[in-house]
Amino acid sequence: MRICVQRVSRASVTVDGQVVGEIGTGLLVLVGVAPNDSETDVQYLAEKILGLRIFEDQDGKMNRSVQDVDGGILVVSQFTLYGDIRKGRRPSFSASAEPEFAKQQYEKLVQHLRTLGAPNVQTGQFRAHMEVALVNDGPVTLLLDSTKLF
């Protein structure tokens, strides 16, 4: 499982002109699922997301988590995180999971975040054409991979 985490001052997802998920201060989490992702991958990344200390403390140092700042988490599926553009100009998505499996893992990640105590978890709409709007705070953007590739 691959994740792109962005610290945001606000973010939203719109589908067919309707806002389906929206947060203020918090994390925008873009999620890509691989065919061999397991419960262990989901749990690892949920805990990592909640534990990331990327919000500033009173001294201006990145030392607080999304829970510490009572922030929201907007989780959006993004199979293109497994896009491979090493050959040619058109990406290959053969490393992405099939949609049914990817949806299950995506939903498990959302549930784990909620179970672990995330204060406000919002989502996009799986497999929909989404418009994601965000204000990246910092900017702070981190990539996570459950296989610890990076």
User: pTM for the whole thing?
Assistant: 0.97
Position 84 scores a pLDDT of 96
Catalytic: 79?
A: yes
The three-state (H, E, C) secondary structure of 66-120, written as one string: CCCCCCEEEEEECHHHHCECCCCCCCECCCCCCHHHHHHHHHHHHHHHHHCCCCE
Q: Which domains does the chain have, with CATH numbers?
A: 2-139 (3.50.80.10)
Tell me the backbone φ, ψ of residue 18, rounded to 5 degrees.
-110, 130
* Average pLDDT score over the chain: 97
Catalytic: 105?
A: no
Instruction: Catalytic residue, from 6, 78, 105, 122: name it.
Output: 78
Q: Is 117 left (phi over 0), alpha (psi -120 to 50) or beta?
A: left
Q: What is the pLDDT of residues 64-78, one digit of tens each?
A: 999 999 999 999 999
Position 139 scores a pLDDT of 97
Position 119 scores a pLDDT of 84
Instruction: Catalytic residue, from 6, 14, 55, 79: name it.
Output: 79
Catalytic: 78?
A: yes
Confidence of residue 33 (pLDDT cuts 50, 70, 90): very high
Q: What is the pLDDT of residues 89-147, one digit of tens each?
A: 999 999 999 999 999 999 999 999 999 999 899 999 999 999 999 999 999 999 999 99
Position 150 scores a pLDDT of 85
